Structure 1
Amino acid sequence: MSSSTVDPADPVFRLHRGGKLAVASTVPLTSREDLSLAYTPGVAQVCAAIAADPRLADDYTWAGHTVAVVTDGSAVLGLGNIGPHAAMPVMEGKAVLFKQFGGVDAVPICLNTQDVDEIVAAVRALAPSFGGINLEDISAPRCFEVERRLDEALDIPVFHDDQHGTAIVVLAALRNAAALLNRKLGDLRVAISGAGAAGVAVTRMLVAGGVNPEQVVVCDSRGILGQHREGLTGTKAELAELTNGDGRRGDVAEALRGADVLIGVSGGQIPEAAVAGMAPGGIVFALANPTPEVHPRVAAQHVAVVATGRSDHPNQINNVLAFPGVFRGALDARATRITDGMKVAAADAIAGVVADSLAPEAIVPSPLDPRVAPAVAEAVAEAARRDGVTR
């Protein structure tokens, strides 16, 4: 985008002028005594104490309440590989959401590399400054390896929000949609359109939450994943082995034939006729943003419950329902990592906020609901202690 496309009068550009973040002091600096306590000579006592016991950094630095929001700019929103400079407004926005909804301080870090080894090395090097790492907008399949290697190397939580944030909210929404329709998760036939970062994580999260993996069919751009597909590697090969118990072959229309649930995380368009082939009383989560895989009004003609990723339609599947509370709970518990149990607990907490007031157009809380983050944080912290991953 050239500078000629920037309209200074546009409220979007006015809001972003100068960025959305600033650093603020939490201590007074109005006297010589203040300076001697906050900096030299007083600070040396704290440094010496932390050197003797590094665990004290959680209590006596910002690390105990601060996460790094890290990207390489390779998969930003629907804009694609736009690089680290152009990714910064999104990372700033993510940091603002962390603070607003979870009381978690966050620092945007945009790396000028898309090499997996260099990303891992950079994050490992900066990790002592933070209590957690939120990976953001890193393209698949590199994102899987980056997260895996960092999770193994660091003793602080590492969380790729494009995968797990989406998956947590999808599980919460599906729990409530199933409850509303008097269905059990284990009985649902689920078609997932998209085998990228979100599709892989959603599949694994649904299975962890009680969906029968043999009843799940995952599609990529070439059709249904299964043992019949040659040349599959990595996560797609794992999905092919885990799912599609009936051995279905074909395209997304075949995946949807008789399905109870469609979860779209691909960005590709799904024909109305394919949605019409679903079982009666179905559920559609068309999450591509800004253009859902199938328009909500079209989907509503064929199914009982519809959700999207958009804020101008009911049932917005929004990651902000998950990540602020997940990190708040992980930091509060001083968790060393984020387990499947913690993610399922987060989904249950989100679902529970509106469990007593379910309706076809209200299966998840509003992103602005102040009850969500505290409920998620409490559930995640408890799960971390139960799973034995606390310091």
Structure 2
Amino acid sequence: MSSSTVDPADPVFLLHRGGKMAVTSTVPLTSREDLSLAYTPGVARVCEAIAADPALVDEYTWVSHTVAVVTDGSAVLGLGNIGPRAALPVMEGKAVLFKQFAGVDAVPVCLDTQDVDEIVAVVRALAPSFGGINLEDISAPRCFEIERRLDEALDIPVFHDDQHGTAIVVLAALRNAATLLDRKLGDLRVAVSGAGAAGVAVTKMLIAGGVNPDQVVVCDSKGIIGRHRTELTGTKAELAASTNADGRHGDITEALRDADVLVGVSGGQIPEAAVAGMAPGGIVFALANPTPEVHPEVAARHVAVVATGRSDYPNQINNVLAFPGVFRGALDAGATRITEAMKVAAADAIAGVVAESLTADAIVPSPLDPRVAPAVAEAVAEAARRDGVARR
């Protein structure tokens, strides 16, 4: 968007003028004594103590409640590879959501490189300043390697929200949809449309949460992923080996034939005829934003429960239900990483918030529900302790 297309009176631009966040002091600075305590000479004593015992950094700095929100601007929203400067409003938005919903301080870090080695090196170098790393809007397949390498290298939680935040909320929503329809996760036949960052994570999360991998079929832009696809490498090859036990071939229409669940995370359009081929009483999560893979009104003609990624339809699958509480819980527990069990616990906690009041139009809480983040944080912290990755 050129400067000539910016309307200074537009409420969106008015809200963003000057940015959406600022740094404020937590201590008084109104006297010479204040200065001597907060800065020199008093601060030197704290520095010496941390140098002698690095674990004290959690108690005497912001590290225990602060994360870095890191992007390279390569996959921002549905806008694509728009670069680090254009990504900054999204990262600021993420940071203020962390603060609003979970009391976690967050710092946007937009990197002017899309080289995997450089990103890993920079984040490793920055890590001592933070208690966790939230990776954001980094394109697949690079995002998988970046997260894996940082997770191995750092002793703080690393979490790619585009993957795991989406996956956690999808699992929560599917748990409640299945409960509402008196179905069991292990009996559901699931088709996932999209094999990028979100699609891969959703597939793994659903399996971790109880979906039978033999009953899962994943599609990418070339069709169903399976052992018949000889060109697959990396993550897609792993999906081929662990799903599609029936060896289905073809496109999304074939993947949806007699399926109970569609999870759309591709952005591509799915024809109504394909949805009509699903089993009766099905579930559709059409999560592409702003244009769902299937219009919710169209999907509702053929299935029992519909969810989207949009706020103007019921059942919004919104990552804000997950990431604030996940990091709050991980930080509270002093977790060194985020395990699969911690993510499943987060999904269970989200589902539990509305478990007693389920309807077809309310299978997940509102993103503004104040019960969500505390419930997720408590569940995640407990799971971290069970998994042996907590330091407190």
Equivalent AA in structure 1 for residue 344 of structure 2: V
1:6 equivalent in structure 2: 6
Matched ranges for 1:118-197 at <5 A: 118-197=118-197
| Residue 89 of structure 2: aligned partner | 89
Q: 1:367-386 to 2 correspondence within 5 Å?
A: 367-386=367-386
Q: State the partner residue of 1:98.
A: 98
Secondary structure at 1:23 match in 2 = coil
Map of 1:284 onto structure 2: 284
Root-mean-square deviation (Å): 0.3
* Deviation of the 1:56 alpha carbon: 0.6
Match of residue 263 from structure 1 = 263
Which residue of structure 2 lines up, in the alignment, with residue 387 of structure 1? 387
State the TM-score, normalizing by the size of structure 1.
1.00
1:358 maps to 358
The equivalent residue for 1:207 is 207
Q: In the alignment, what sits opposite 1:112?
A: 112
Cα deviation for residue 231 of structure 1 reads: 1.1
Deviation at 1:347, TM superposition (A): 0.1
Looking at structure 1, the residues matched to 95 and 221 of structure 2 have their Cα atoms a distance apart, in angstroms, of: 33
Q: For the residues of structure 2 that align with 1:55 and 1:254, how far apart are their CA atoms?
A: 55
Long gaps (5+) in structure 1: none
Q: Deviations over 1:27-85 (max 9, x none)?
A: 00111111111111111111011101111101100011000000000000000000000
What letter is aligned with 2:296?
Answer: P
The whole-number CA distance in structure 2 between the counterparts of 1:180 and 1:95 is 34
Q: Secondary structure at the match of 2:303?
A: coil
CA distance, structure 1, for counterparts of residue 179 and residue 40 of structure 2: 59
Shift of 1:91: 0.2
Q: CA deviation at 1:287?
A: 0.1
Match of 1:309 in 2: 309
- Per the TM alignment, residue 285 of structure 1 is displaced from its structure 2 partner at its CA by 0.1
Aligned residue in 2 for 1:274: 274
Aligned partner of 2:231 in structure 1 is 231
In structure 2, the gaps of 5 or more residues are none
Q: Once the two structures are superposed, what CA deviation does each residue of 1:80-135 show, in whole Å capped at 9, x if it has no partner? A: 00000000000000000000001000000000000000000000000000000000
Q: Quote the Cα distance in structure 2 between the aligned partners of 1:53 and 1:214.
A: 50
* Cα offset, 1:276, TM superposition: 0.2
For 1:249 and 1:65, the matched residues in 2 are separated by 48
Structure 1 distance, partners of 2:271, 2:356, is 34
Q: Which residue number in structure 1 is paired with residue 296 of structure 2?
A: 296
Give identity over the alignment, percent: 88
Say which is worse superposed, 350-359 or 42-51, in terms of deviation: 42-51
Render the CA deviation track for 1:139-174: whole Å, top value 9, x for unaligned. 000000000000000000000000000000000000
Off by >2 Å, runs of 4+ in structure 1 = none
Which amino acid in the other structure matches residue 44 of structure 1? A
The offset of 1:317, in angstroms, is 0.1
> In 2, Cα distance between the equivalents of 1:5 and 1:116?
34
Describe the SS at the equivalent of 2:4.
helix
What CA distance in whole angstroms lies between the structure 1 residues aligned with 2:296 and 2:145?
34
CA–CA separation in structure 1 for the residues paired with 2:39 and 2:83 = 37
State the distance in 2 between where 1:230 and 1:97 align.
43
- List per-residue Cα deviations over 1:328-387 (Å, max 9, x = no partner): 000000000000000000000000000000000000000000000000000000000000
Amino acid at match of 1:206: L
> Which residue does 1:343 correspond to in 2?
343
TM-score under structure 2 normalisation? 1.00
Q: Which amino acid in 2 is paired with 1:36?
A: S
